[in-house]
């Protein structure tokens, strides 16, 4: 775990709340720690709390928005800790950063969290059981968007097109590829573009991309921005397409993009989702994990003012959908609140 210092109030301006990920985690964090230490040399050793990193995703998605607010809340309500939100490529990269001890907490799609926990797919050969859920967040809704009149009305219309499947290392790409391959469409059937959310929206707007995938809670800011200047079309994912995908990925379930999520979208759109989870390493201290889940759930109403999907964050949702076991301290916290935790979510059961 990364540690550094924070002094009294005069040092508040030195704290970087959200830091951009340059794909060189150890070197990047090392520079941040060095700058932090140089700025706080006047602080007494006893005043130096833990410096913790939260891996989010790109700036055009909901992880980034909510993660920044979580970091603020944890830093405010846990004076012995300072949490900084990291901009990253998304779930797969987040889990890699977490397991290599470069961050302390990570956002992840349930699909990727399950892979990391079992040591499969993107994490083939890895040690199982190294990550555990702190809390489940909200459904991560797959959104496939193009321009109205662009000829992309279904998954099959993606064949031969330029399609953004999400940034490298993102859960969006994993989800898009799983959906497509489960329904008979491989990367050789279209021109895959690995772009982040903002780049995808810009590509669709500029005509260099025909359609793009997002995995995020709607409304998603980059799609909202796209819809303000162009008329967009959200492609429906049929029940049969969802069922074929769920046969491959057990975390998948049917979902909808609600009517009115975006400008000009008058009807709900059928799609699929997988739960989003906050994950930590299994070796995180019980004291820290207990404090993190306590503060987060107590601040749920505050977070719901940041983005409506945060209204789903709850003990009940965690117990219903977490695809992997909970950290022992999360189990204890929920039991302390009077909840019965099923055996499937208790490590070692």
Rounded mean pLDDT, 281-286: 98
Residue 50: predicted pLDDT: 86
Please, which residues have CB within 8 angstroms of residue 68's CB and are 6 or more apart in sequence?
Answer: 17, 18, 56, 85
pLDDT tens, position by position, 285-335: 999 999 999 999 999 999 999 998 899 999 999 999 999 999 999 999 999
- Comparing 284 with 79, the larger pLDDT belongs to 284
In the chain, the number of structural domains is 2
In-domain check, residue 195:
yes
What is the band of 146 on the pLDDT scale with cuts at 50, 70, 90? very high
Residue 37 pLDDT > 90: no
Residue 5: predicted pLDDT: 31
The answer to whether 104 and 82 are in contact (CB under 8 A) is no
Please, which residues have CB within 8 angstroms of residue 239's CB and are 6 or more apart in sequence?
Answer: 254, 270
Q: List residues bridging with 55 in a β-sheet.
A: 86, 106
Among 210, 217, 230, smallest CA distance to 150 is for 210
Judgement on whether residues 171 and 86 belong to the same structural domain of the protein: no
Residue 127 pLDDT > 70: yes
Judgement on whether residues 333 and 260 belong to the same structural domain of the protein: no
What is the band of 49 on the pLDDT scale with cuts at 50, 70, 90? low
Judgement on whether residues 270 and 288 belong to the same structural domain of the protein: no
Judgement on whether residues 259 and 337 belong to the same structural domain of the protein: no
Domain carrying residue 184:
141-274
Judgement on whether residues 95 and 133 belong to the same structural domain of the protein: yes
In-domain check, residue 1:
no
Final residue before a domain boundary, out of 274, 294, 320: 274
Judgement on whether residues 156 and 210 belong to the same structural domain of the protein: yes
In-domain check, residue 45:
yes
- Comparing 227 with 34, the larger pLDDT belongs to 227
The answer to whether 271 and 108 are in contact (CB under 8 A) is no
Judgement on whether residues 89 and 145 belong to the same structural domain of the protein: no
Among 37, 46, 50, smallest CA distance to 11 is for 37
CATH number at residue 250: 3.40.190.10
Rounded mean pLDDT, 107-119: 95
In angstroms, rounded to a whole number, what is the distance separating the alpha carbons of residues 51 and 104? Answer: 9
Task: Give percent of the chain above pLDDT 70.
Answer: 86
Rounded mean pLDDT, 44-55: 75
In-domain check, residue 158:
yes
Judgement on whether residues 170 and 200 belong to the same structural domain of the protein: yes
Final residue before a domain boundary, out of 240, 274, 308: 274
Judgement on whether residues 146 and 249 belong to the same structural domain of the protein: yes
In angstroms, rounded to a whole number, what is the distance separating the alpha carbons of residues 61 and 66? Answer: 9
Helix, strand or coil, per DSSP, at residue 220: coil
Among 143, 136, 166, smallest CA distance to 279 is for 136
Residue 223 pLDDT > 80: yes
Residue 39: predicted pLDDT: 42
Final residue before a domain boundary, out of 274, 297, 330: 274
- Comparing 255 with 12, the larger pLDDT belongs to 255
Task: Give percent of the chain above pLDDT 90.
Answer: 79
């Amino acid at each position: 775990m990364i540690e550094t210092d924070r002094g009294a109030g005069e040092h508040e301006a030195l704290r970087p709340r959200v830091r951009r990920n340059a794909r060189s985690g150890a070197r990047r964090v090392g520079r941040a720690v060095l700058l932090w230490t140089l700025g706080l040399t006047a602080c007494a050793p006893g005043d130096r709390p833990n410096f913790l990193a939260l891996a989010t995703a790109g700036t055009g998605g909901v992880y980034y928005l909510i993660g920044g607010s979580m970091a603020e809340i944890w830093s405010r309500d846990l004076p012995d800790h300072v949490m900084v939100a990291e901009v990253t490529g998304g779930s797969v990269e987040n889990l890699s950063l977490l397991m290599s001890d470069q961050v302390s907490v990570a956002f992840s799609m349930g699909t990727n969290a399950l892979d990391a926990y079992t040591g499969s797919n993107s994490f083939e050969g890895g040690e199982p059981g190294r990550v555990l859920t702190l809390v489940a967040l909200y459904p991560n809704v797959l959104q496939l968007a193009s321009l109205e009149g662009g000829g992309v009305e279904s998954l099959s219309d993606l064949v031969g097109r330029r399609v953004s499947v999400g940034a490298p290392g993102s859960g969006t790409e994993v989800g898009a590829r799983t959906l497509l391959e489960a329904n008979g469409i491989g990367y050789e059937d279209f021109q895959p573009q690995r772009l982040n959310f903002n780049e995808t929206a810009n590509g669709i707007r500029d005509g260099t991309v025909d359609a793009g995938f997002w995995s995020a809670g709607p409304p998603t800011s980059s799609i909202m921005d796209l819809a303000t200047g162009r008329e967009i079309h959200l492609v429906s994912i049929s029940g049969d397409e969802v069922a074929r995908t769920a046969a491959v990925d057990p975390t998948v379930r049917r979902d909808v993009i609600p009517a009115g999520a975006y400008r000009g979208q008058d009807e709900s759109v059928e799609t699929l989702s997988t739960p989003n989870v906050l994950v930590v390493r299994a070796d995180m201290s019980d004291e820290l994990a207990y404090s993190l889940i306590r503060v987060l759930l107590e601040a749920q109403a505050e977070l719901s003012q940041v983005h409506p999907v945060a209204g789903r964050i709850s003990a009940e949702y965690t117990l219903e959908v977490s695809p992997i076991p909970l950290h022992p301290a999360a189990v204890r916290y929920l039991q302390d609140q009077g909840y019965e935790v099923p055996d499937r979510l208790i490590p070692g059961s």
